[in-house]
Chain A
Amino acid sequence: MNEHVVRLEGAGRSFGASTALTGVDLTIRAGERVAVLGASGAGKSTLLALLNGSLQPSEGSVELFGAATAGLPARTRRGLQRRVGTVSQGLDLIEQVRVLHNVNAGRLAEWGTPRALASLVWPHPDERALGALEAVGLGWAVHERTERLSGGERQRVAIARLLIQRPDLVLADEPVASLDPTRAAEVLGLLGRATDSRGTLVVTLHQPQLARDHCTRAIGLREGRLVFDTPIADLASHLLDELYARA
């Protein structure tokens, strides 16, 4: 249970002259559920992008599952990326296809090219795909067109895609930003269950109460710097005040 899923050492990322994230030291172990807190523009999305490899750090180093992500051969990097599942802010669903295709998108990497291509033409709704959809309450929507679902339903499709990918690390960027409180608790519950046992969760949030209910650890970002890193029990209100205070 003590293996490092993520290790950042002095990691940061700049875009031209502006620094989105800088000097972050962070180690996350298997099974942890980490809430990332911070105002808009604090660098939360940038942090997640460093973790799933869609951005390379411009300073320091990022290690995933014990391997540095920079300069890996493509095959090895793909192997690592397969173990990371992301629900991004935009959901990144393929709008024009049936829901089933979007769920299967979670295992295209696992399937390998020929089977993946075949599934695009003829997707068999097997046990695992149906199970994932039922788990998020969308058992009825297997053959719906994705773009015809409501915002909340589309979000649950993205979670079903995550379930079927079976990642060791789940990254969720503001998964509940646009949901009412009941729905928000539901979605975090699903993400929590998706990461049961050895799975690890990193989720960016704006509501401290949800962090307290669903996470084991909280980190705070402010203007691209890590300002606190604490077990969830110690998440005190003065820490939060500092996070959202105006500069």
Chain B
Amino acid sequence: MTDLVEVARHDRDPTAGPDRAGRPPSSCRVTGRQVALRRGAGALIVLLPLTWALQRALPQGGDIVNRGGVPLIGDLLGKAWSPRLDGEFLEVVVDAAVTTLAFAALGTAGALVIGLLGGLVLSDVAWARRPPWPVRTVRTGLRGALVAIRSIHELVWALLLVSVLGLDPLVAVLAIALPFGAQTAQVFGDTFDALPTRALRALRDAGAPAAPAVAFALLPPAGPLMLSYAFYRFECAVRSTVLLGAVGVGGLGQELVVSLSSRNWDEVWTLVAAVIVLSAVVDAWSGRLRTDMAVASCSEWSAGDAGGAAGTGGRRPGSRWARWSAIAAAPGLVVAWFASGVSLSGLTSERTRMLAGRLLDDLVPPALPRGGAGEVTAAVLDTLAMAVLAMAIAVLITLVVSPWAVAVRRGTGPPGGLAMRSLRWISWLVARIVLLVLRSVPPTVWAVIALLALFPGVLPGALALGVYTGGVLGRLVAESWESVSPAPREALVRTGVPGAVATVAAVVPASAQQLVTFTLYRFEICVRETAVVGIVGAAGLGRLLAENLNFFRFPVVMTLLIASFAVSVASEVASRRLRRAIRA
């Protein structure tokens, strides 16, 4: 048989060379060595931090497992089949669930108001031409302030607010509204900038005043996107509100912490079930809204790509589901207001004004903790080690669970009979439930459980955060894997390649890229969330922060906030750079 390659090479058309193809400038050529180097660098970037973090988490000689605590885990597990279900307690649970929902709804509403105003200031559309310099200065300042606000975790916000407002329901609402609002402003600003501006120009040219013109020209095209983002935020807010329970502001989270610390395991299980059901319902609702409006998947939102989707059009104008959700929002908020017992009077009270003044006075100048700069450095390193290990655990969970959590494509699916199909379907359901449970149980609870059996330190924190992040990452990655095209694999199978080899060759590269992108993105968030497990006593900046807040050492708190901010910005920059480098 003729070697077609040889044939093709020998009478190769001299005009078909690279010169004809208009390519390539030598600068963009990649050599085999460069590819090998990149791989080596990639391996180092994974392995070095991981070994370092492991070393930090497993101190030589010291005990890790708290033998006294292990039986407690047994007790906890033993009660799994007999949760407390009497009427009296169920009433408490329902009450707490309503409170949680109300806090989340009010916090989201506040975040949307902040986001809408902030987004308008940040985006260029509202200005007919290049905005005047005072606006630009304010804008730069605002951008910085928003970054700072959202770099502080909602739980830390709650801690700070508690020291001014006391255990007021307003703490929960503000702790959600502030960081979420900063994030929302960023997303809305990008969204507005991605919109086609012709309609707005036309209105302005026709002499319409700025505010109505913006309302008429921007809200209809951006509306569906903003609505689905609002519900996505609500979904996140429910989870965060549960977390806030750790500082004692009410709702399911607080009940959980109370039951955990008084070791009423039967109550813990009931509450965990309630948390899971609540997040599942809210997830399903907001997920349905997103698919109905075909705006963006959860993974697109999370990766911050959704702003770009705004200008592309081709969206359905809003389903009945979306419309009812929007209509229900207003009365829902009124109900939430009364159910939560929030009142604004706390904001203006004499006591608040005094405490806030003292807090602001005390924050500057910042001071070092008792242990000096060394203590801060150690806390920063612990925080980073915890985040790295947590991500490693999350990736492991994702690798094990997510392949099963990918929805079976209609029409294709595995060959084989009904039995195979139902088995695949059941494994899908189990995998999704596992991921749901992992991410619905708040990391504070995972941390308290881990701290039963392990001595405080990096390891229990990393475990708790890793398990929780595994649930989040696993779901994001599974959703993104659903969009990996099956065509390249099918093409390989069609040329006689065995199915398993075809999967490794064609599906794994695409899937791996998604996994790496989301892992890097989640790492940013994970660094910030170490505060959560720190506050319940694991390690890192969060723990130091909680300790110093307890003793009202505000200057030290300020130092720690600055350190957290620096760590979070640094990890964000690093993760962005790596993500960009991967695409090259």
Question: Chain A interface (Cβ within 8 Å of chain B)?
Answer: 52-54, 77-82, 84-86, 88, 90, 92-98, 101, 105-106, 108-109, 113, 116-117, 120, 125, 128, 131-132, 134-145, 150, 152-153, 163-167, 186, 189-190, 193-199
- B8: chain A residues at CB < 8 Å are 131-132, 135-136, 163, 190, 193-194
Residue B422 at the chain A interface, CB threshold 8 Å: no
Per-position 1/0 for B501-528, Cβ under 8 A of A = 1101110111011000000000000000
Q: Report yes or no: A143 in contact with B491, Cβ–Cβ below 8 A.
A: no
CB A226 to nearest CB in B, in angstroms, measures 24
Question: Which are the 9 A-B pairs with shortest beta-carbon distances?
Answer: A92-B491, A82-B496, A109-B496, A78-B496, A135-B8, A81-B496, A143-B30, A96-B509, A108-B497
Report if A190-B500 is in contact (Cβ < 8 Å); known contacts: A94-B510, A143-B31, A152-B21.
no
Q: In the complex the two chains form, what is the Cα distance from A131 to B4 in whole Å?
A: 10
Q: Report yes or no: B21 in contact with A137, Cβ–Cβ below 8 A.
A: yes
Q: Report yes or no: B509 in contact with A82, Cβ–Cβ below 8 A.
A: no
In chain B between 348 and 384, which residues have their CB closer than 8 angstroms to a CB of chain A? none
What is the size, in residues, of chain B's interface with A at 8 Å between Cβ atoms? 49
Q: Report yes or no: B3 in contact with A88, Cβ–Cβ below 8 A.
A: no
A/B pair count, beta carbons within 8 Å: 152
- A196: chain B residues at CB < 8 Å are 2, 4, 7
Q: Report yes or no: A82 in contact with B495, Cβ–Cβ below 8 A.
A: yes
- A132: chain B residues at CB < 8 Å are 5, 8-9
Per-position 1/0 for B3-34, Cβ under 8 A of A = 11111110111011110110110001111101
- A164: chain B residues at CB < 8 Å are 5
Residue B498 at the chain A interface, CB threshold 8 Å: yes
- A81: chain B residues at CB < 8 Å are 494-496
Q: In the complex the two chains form, what is the Cα distance from A101 to B20 in whole Å?
A: 24
Q: In the complex the two chains form, what is the Cα distance from A153 to B20 in whole Å?
A: 12
Q: Would you mind naming 25 contact pairs between A and B with Cβ atoms under 8 Å apart?
A: A82-B495, A82-B496, A94-B488, A94-B506, A94-B510, A95-B488, A101-B509, A108-B495, A109-B495, A131-B5, A131-B8, A132-B9, A135-B8, A136-B16, A140-B18, A142-B32, A143-B32, A166-B1, A166-B3, A193-B7, A196-B2, A196-B7, A197-B2, A197-B7, A198-B2
Residue B423 at the chain A interface, CB threshold 8 Å: no
Residue B584 at the chain A interface, CB threshold 8 Å: yes
Q: In the complex the two chains form, what is the Cα distance from A164 to B5 in whole Å?
A: 6
In the complex, the chain B residue whose C-beta lies closest to that of A100 is: B32
Q: Report yes or no: A120 in contact with B505, Cβ–Cβ below 8 A.
A: yes
- A152: chain B residues at CB < 8 Å are 21
CB B422 to nearest CB in A, in angstroms, measures 24
Residue B490 at the chain A interface, CB threshold 8 Å: yes
Q: Report yes or no: A186 in contact with B9, Cβ–Cβ below 8 A.
A: no
In the complex, the chain A residue whose C-beta lies closest to that of B34 is: A143
Q: In the complex the two chains form, what is the Cα distance from A237 to B584 in whole Å?
A: 50
- A153: chain B residues at CB < 8 Å are 21, 23
Residue B492 at the chain A interface, CB threshold 8 Å: yes
Per-position 1/0 for B304-324, Cβ under 8 A of A = 000000000000000000000
- B20: chain A residues at CB < 8 Å are 137, 186
Q: Which of A90, A95, A125, A193 interacts with B11 by CB under 8 Å?
A: A193
- A105: chain B residues at CB < 8 Å are 492, 497, 505-506
Residue B43 at the chain A interface, CB threshold 8 Å: no
Q: Report yes or no: A52 in contact with B488, Cβ–Cβ below 8 A.
A: no
Q: Report yes or no: A163 in contact with B5, Cβ–Cβ below 8 A.
A: yes
- B21: chain A residues at CB < 8 Å are 137, 152-153
- B513: chain A residues at CB < 8 Å are 96
Q: In the complex the two chains form, what is the Cα distance from A153 to B488 in whole Å?
A: 17
- B35: chain A residues at CB < 8 Å are 98, 143
Residue B581 at the chain A interface, CB threshold 8 Å: no
Q: In the complex the two chains form, what is the Cα distance from A194 to B495 in whole Å?
A: 16
Q: In the complex the two chains form, what is the Cα distance from A81 to B498 in whole Å?
A: 11
Q: Which of B13, B490, B500 interacts with A186 by CB under 8 Å?
A: B13
Q: Report yes or no: B488 in contact with A93, Cβ–Cβ below 8 A.
A: yes
Q: Report yes or no: A134 in contact with B492, Cβ–Cβ below 8 A.
A: no
Q: In the complex the two chains form, what is the Cα distance from A139 to B501 in whole Å?
A: 27
Q: Which of B7, B12, B491, B510 interacts with A96 by CB under 8 Å?
A: B510
In the complex, the chain B residue whose C-beta lies closest to that of A108 is: B497
Q: Report yes or no: B30 in contact with A84, Cβ–Cβ below 8 A.
A: no
Q: Report yes or no: A137 in contact with B16, Cβ–Cβ below 8 A.
A: yes
- B23: chain A residues at CB < 8 Å are 140, 150, 153
Residue B487 at the chain A interface, CB threshold 8 Å: yes
Q: Report yes or no: A108 in contact with B492, Cβ–Cβ below 8 A.
A: yes
In the complex, the chain A residue whose C-beta lies closest to that of B13 is: A189
- B29: chain A residues at CB < 8 Å are 140-141, 143-144
Q: Which of B18, B24, B501, B506 interacts with A117 by CB under 8 Å?
A: B501
Instruction: List 5 additional A-B contacts (Cβ < 8 Å) besides A54-B494, A138-B18.
Output: A54-B490, A81-B494, A96-B512, A101-B509, A164-B5
In the complex, the chain A residue whose C-beta lies closest to that of B30 is: A143
Q: Report yes or no: B495 in contact with A137, Cβ–Cβ below 8 A.
A: no
Q: Report yes or no: A97 in contact with B30, Cβ–Cβ below 8 A.
A: no
In the complex, the chain A residue whose C-beta lies closest to that of B16 is: A137
